[in-house]
Amino acid sequence: MEIEVRAALTSDGTVDITTVGARSGQRRRTEIWFLHLGGRVFITGTPGRRNWYANLLENERLTFHLKESTIADLPARAVRVTDPGLRRWVFEQPHRWVDWYRSQVSLDELVRSSPMVEVIFLEDQ
């Protein structure tokens, strides 16, 4: 992975992701926040239905579009995060987006009900 891409993953916060619609089969591009924590990348949100999440549960492949400090389209796959300990760890980390999520709903509710995936970049496999 290029130096600029690695730097963007640690400093940027907003990306676009392209998923395949769970029902339509059409490509969908969505702007979303991401979390870079301990060398890992997560996408999450507050509890509730999310189209991006439904799409990734149906088809784990996505394109992760960096667009802030550098421009890059990264092929990836999404791994659903179900382990309560890992989910809690994500929501306990100091991060600007985690702080916002925790201001919206309790930590226990985030751990129990938030959509969450870990992004695995395909070139890293």
- pLDDT tens digits for range 19-77: 999 899 999 999 999 999 999 999 999 999 999 999 999 999 999 999 999 999 999 99
Whole-number pLDDT of residue 125 = 44
Whole-number pLDDT of residue 124 = 52
Whole-number pLDDT of residue 68 = 96
Under 8 Å between Cβ of 73 and 63: yes
Q: Which domains does the chain have, with CATH numbers?
A: 3-124 (2.30.110.10)
- pLDDT tens digits for range 78-102: 999 999 999 999 999 999 889 999 9
Would you place residue 123 in the very low, low, confident or very high pLDDT band (cuts 50, 70, 90)?
Answer: confident
Whole-number pLDDT of residue 57 = 97
Whole-number pLDDT of residue 63 = 98
